[in-house]
Amino acid sequence: MSETILAKDFLLSDNEVGAFIANGYHLVEPEFPEGFNESICEAIRNLDGNQGNGILNAVPLLNDVYEHPAVRGALSSILGEDYSMNGHRHLHTNPPGSKSQGWHQDGTNVRHHQVWTVLGMYYPHDVTPEMGPTVIMPGTHMRNAPTDRLQTYANLKGQYCLAVKAGTVAITHYDLWHAATLNRSERPRYMLKFLFDRNSEPTAPSWNHDPETAEAAAAQGIKQIGPQGYCSDYYKEWELRKELWHWMTGEGTKVPQGAFKDMLS
């Protein structure tokens, strides 16, 4: 597909960017040729040990996943058109009978409330709740918690289970809390984790942005209330979400006076 078609059909909307800002994740369901995902699963099964950062060379079909226009459109929307693939990548295999993983953040907990790195987690087969899917906690990219504290948490109110169909790519903020869960099935669950980096500060929206309706559309996502309901934490996160929105639109980190003034009405 041409770059023109990519920009027209696959960039995110203001509403979708607002939802990403609030929740810290966006799911992409690309359309791949018949048998494509199965071919990647077969290639993984035939690997001689864990390839680490060499997984892309060992399974070159993965290039087609992250070059798919729907995936590129979403990544461009979140990270800017000049984003790049990070050199770190990994095949995560969750075998039958595994234990649940502790909650953790992959980022370094630098509280800048911007988006410089995201995970692109590709699932090459259907993932059922019994197969030990990845679980994420929406909104936690705005929170900083020591790893040893996160390890004491179990099921959290509002957590979201990535029981997804084959070919799904889950794009998550690098600081979003996530964990693998117990695999109660009889087959391994695969997930390919790739990282993508922003290379420059935003100077304008890199998604399908409509200045006439943008703030109202984005507000639908930004004003979401977390599972804890109305509390002081919600108001703190609301301010951080507004700050991130204005940074992504190229207006810097200072929230203009009066911005989103009607969001709570």
**pLDDT tens digits for range 13-42:** 999 999 999 999 999 999 999 999 999 999
Per the domain annotation, does 93 fall within a domain?
yes
Residue 56: predicted pLDDT: 97
CA–CA gap between residue 78 and residue 96 (Å, rounded) = 35
Domain contains 232 = no
Task: Residue 177: count other Cβ atoms within 10 Å of its Cβ.
Answer: 23
Contacts of 253 (CB under 8 A, 6+ apart): 113, 114, 243, 246, 247
Residue 160 lies in a domain: yes
What are the two backbone dihedrals, phi and then psi, of residue 72, each rounded to the nearest 5 degrees?
-65, -40
Q: Domain count of the chain?
A: 1
CA-CA distances (angstroms) from residue 259 to 11, 21, 255?
A: 24, 16, 7
pTM to 2 decimal places:
0.89
Query: Per residue in 36-87, pLDDT tens?
Result: 999 999 999 999 988 999 999 999 999 999 999 999 999 999 999 999 999 9
205: left (phi over 0), alpha (psi -120 to 50) or beta: beta
Q: pLDDT band for position 7 (50/70/90)?
A: very low
Q: Retrieve residue 246's tokens.
A: 């204005």
Range of the domain at 24: 3-197
Interatomic CA distance for residues 112 and 198, integer angstroms: 14
CATH number at residue 50: 2.60.120.620
> Residue 179 domain-assigned?
yes
124: in domain: yes
Q: Highest mean pLDDT range out of 154-168, 188-202, 214-228?
A: 188-202
State the amino acid at position 11 in one-letter form. Answer: L
Pairwise pLDDT comparison (197 vs 226), residue with the higher score: 197
Residue 106 lies in a domain: yes
Q: Has residue 118 been placed in a domain? A: yes
In a domain? residue 11 = yes
Whether the predicted pLDDT of 238 surpasses 70: yes
